Amino acid sequence: MVLKTDLECLREDNVKITVLGSGSWGATLAILLFENGHDVTVWEFDATRAKYLQAGKIKPFKAGTVLPKGLIVTDSFEMFKDSDVVLFAVPSQYVRSTCEILKNKGISFDEKIVISATKGVEANPVMRMSEVIEDVFGGIYKNIVVLSGPSHAEEVCKKKPTAIVSAAVNIDLAEKCRSLFMSDYFMVHTQTDVIGVEIGAALKNVFAVASGIIDGLKCGDNTKAAIISRGFNELVKIGIALGGKEQTFYGLSGLGDLICTCFSKHSRNRAVGQAIGEGMSLEEAERNLGMVAEGVKNTISAYRIGKELKLEIPIINGIHAVLFEGINPLKVINDLMTRATNL
């Protein structure tokens, strides 16, 4: 008799999983799940891209890995019928429209586990990604798990040690999600604070844009440390006001993700901010990036939350002013640095 290791005992083999989105994060998670022994299909809205990836099995993004031969990429809706798990890995601004497309095709998530690996908050009205999915399908919130934490696809795809959080209102569901993803390089921790995990994941992107602006202006590490540490206080303030637990924000999906995103060369949000600090317009910076930077849209959401709840969030307001009000970024950073505070 061969005894299984602790890690092997956590896994459940051959679960049918559909991953929504073939971008960097969707492809990376799909490969991880496939290598864990699951029956994985990647659904891609763009039929041309789906055929290209399926035929070539090439690296789906810069610094990515080659897709395994047995991993299917398709624009068909057929696989949803038999899927046990559906994983959302599309940009936050496309989660609602993706849900509506699936619902209009008669697809139901009533008997499926739905995992949201998308970081973001819808702006008008303000909704977390799990709330958006629930808003479209109705009655499935109990089936939803959120997966988040400091995890750049560029490093996960190369099997760099990574730790993230699986959160659901039902801890058993969070544990189920954990069993799907656990590997010798991908550690998953579980909890039930869905609100805190999602808010931390979304708002840290705003401060990553701020971090990039500081880099672009060449203000230095002292300035960045001051802005990011005070920005984290704003993240916690908003998160608690929305119902998140304070301790969540000091963990992987809050402070951990903030550090990862604000200081990494892989961060899209930091890259957009840096381009703006160097003199590009927002439109030029986004076009130059060539990918979605969630922090831009998340800034609008964070700004509106602050206004609605009457919270003092000067750094979020300042980044909003740079991105959408035409205010000079150097002036905003100087004003924030000279602003009286007890932090």
| CA 60 to chain centroid | 18
Provide the pLDDT for residue 3.
31
Q: What is the pTM (predicted TM-score) of this model?
A: 0.91
pLDDT reading at 1 higher than 50: no
For residue 13, name the pLDDT band (cuts at 50, 70, 90): low
**pLDDT tens digit sequence for 128-153:** 999 999 999 999 999 999 999 999 99
pLDDT band at 124 (very low <50, low <70, confident <90, very high): confident
The enclosing H or E element of 193 equals none
Give the model confidence (pLDDT) of 55-85 as tens digits.
Answer: 999 998 888 889 999 999 999 999 898 999 9
DSSP labels for 131-154? HHHHHHH-S-GGGEEEEESS--HH
- 100-118 residue pLDDT tens: 999 999 999 998 999 999 9
Active-site residue, from 204, 224, 237, 297: 204
Residue 119 known to be catalytic: no
Tell me how far apart the alpha carbons of residues 118 and 243 are, in angstroms, rounded to a whole number: 20
pLDDT at 98 over 50: yes
> Whole-number mean pLDDT of the chain?
92
The string of pLDDT tens digits covering residues 170-203 is 999 999 999 999 999 999 999 999 999 999 999 9
Percent of the chain with pLDDT over 90: 81
Beta bridge partners, 41, equal 18, 72
Is residue 197 within 8 Å of 253, Cβ to Cβ? yes
Contact 282, 268 (CB under 8 A): no
164, β-bridge pairs = 188
Of 263, 200, 209, 264, nearest to 234 by C-alpha is 200
Q: Position 257: which residue type? A: D
Q: Write out the E strands in the chain.
A: 16-20, 39-43, 72-74, 85-88, 113-116, 121-123, 126-128, 144-148, 162-167, 186-191
pLDDT in tens, 23-35: 999 999 999 999 9
CA distance 295 to 223: 20
Q: Which tops the pLDDT comparison, 308 or 10? A: 308
What's the pLDDT at 289? Answer: 79
pLDDT at 62: 83
What pLDDT digit, counting tens, does each position of 203-252 carry?
Answer: 999 999 999 999 999 999 999 999 999 999 999 999 999 999 999 999 99
8 Å CB contact between 25 and 268: no
The pLDDT value recorded for residue 295 is 83
| Nearest residue to 157 (alpha-carbon basis) of 253, 29, 257 | 29
